Structure 1
């Protein structure tokens, strides 16, 4: 269930308010953490792809809703920050003798995108919520890696990215709340969060196929 408390007054810290919004319907499982720690380079390469895709998604929304007031001002800095993260991850990969490589996708983003309704304004709402859900899952899993990775450099990398990742899914929430009442947002977010957890349910057949958004959640 999504839990929401009031957004902060002007001047208050966004991160504090975002902490009160629980986007995810199910937490990541211990098995995913074990698989990710056993295959850190694969997860790191996939993470670079995720940062690149997140930047592209923000830019795509800016172009789709070109004249939407306030949207470009909000999403342009987000896209730049995602690309900065992409560059940071690439630097770590290069230092380890690797680079960006094609990896089979778990299909997570594509399956979530299929949930976006076609008619406006529902399409805009769903697009913001799906983007926010992806950011929220990324934040949760990076936090787990920042705490549990046996590699000190990776713990530092993931830990350094956490605050900005929290701002990112918080921003998508703000974009929703500026345009719709919570009575519209929260039920739809709960529906999409449940689908997101379903997509990540099950067991990974090949542990080496672990990705930032591969299966691995604990359903209660």
Structure 2
């Protein structure tokens, strides 16, 4: 990706986000001593992104049989991450979904939700494997780590009335993907070439994921959602810019 395309990709994302990543976070992130925590958290974030997309498909778009097939697809990745079961090198052969997903009746947006989210899950699981490859190259052992406050801080503000619940979750998904994209771009110039090239390679898919989430939210709402987008944008900006004692990939400004 050349520099011009890089900037063209980031412009709508930077306009969408309500604040820029603080320089204090970048300074902390580029320390060699924080590389392992950054990669471990990135790894888990990729799995959680896949889980979130899968939850949306299972809850809103498919029948139980298709939902069970989706769970089976994700299970080896969850077993490795949460239970330390299996060899990470075997995960590459599990990132395939052979069953075609059909929407259950009465969901006018079901097929589009399935199509966009299945593609997103495949890409997130591919990124998950790529992070494991990099960790292996850098001799960083996998270990369990706690979650940051970020995603929970967004999702606690989701309403409990449908279809607004789904719309809010999609907006949150858009912000998480957009922030990930912005942070990869912030980090890329400050790490070695191997890792920097990897972060730049993620920009295009992360940018598309944010757009897919936002497009789905707009289509399902069938109305102007700018007020909710701004609402979650302000919450997201507060989580990113306020002081945070727990350094992670999506953490706030380090104390």
TM-score (normalised: structure 2) = 0.72
2:12 is aligned to: 20
Q: Which runs of 5+ in 1 are unaligned?
A: 1-15
1:132 is aligned to: 174
1:33 is aligned to: 26
Change (3 A) 1:84 1:186: same
Q: Which runs of 5+ in 2 are unaligned?
A: 1-7, 62-103
Shift of 1:151: 1.6
For the 8 Å contact 2:22–2:241, the answer to whether it is kept is no
Q: Residues 33-52 of structure 1, C-alpha deviation per residue, up to 9 Å, x if partnerless? A: 01111112211111011111
Q: CA RMSD in A?
A: 2.1
Over alpha carbons, which structure has the higher Rg?
A: 2
Given candidates 114, 121, 125, the residue that maps to 2:156 is: 114
Equivalent residues in 2 for 1:138-177, closer than 5 Å:
138-147=180-189, 149-177=190-218
For the 8 Å contact 1:130–1:192, the answer to whether it is kept is yes
State how far apart, in whole Å, the 1-side matches of 2:158 and 2:9 are: 26
Give the ranges of 4+ consecutive aligned residues of structure 1 lying more than 6 Å apart after TM superposition: none
1:199 is aligned to: 239
Q: Which has the higher contact order (CA 8 A, sep 6+)?
A: 1
Q: Residues 16-73 of structure 1, C-alpha deviation per residue, up to 9 Å, x if partnerless? A: 7995363211110111001111112211111011111001100000001023322111
2:82 is aligned to: none
The answer to which structure has the higher helix fraction is 2
For the 8 Å contact 2:40–2:142, the answer to whether it is kept is yes
For the 8 Å contact 2:148–2:250, the answer to whether it is kept is yes
SS in 2 for 1:20: helix
For the 8 Å contact 2:21–2:241, the answer to whether it is kept is no
State how far apart, in whole Å, the 1-side matches of 2:17 and 2:50 are: 21
For the 8 Å contact 1:90–1:99, the answer to whether it is kept is no
State how far apart, in whole Å, the 1-side matches of 2:176 and 2:196 are: 21
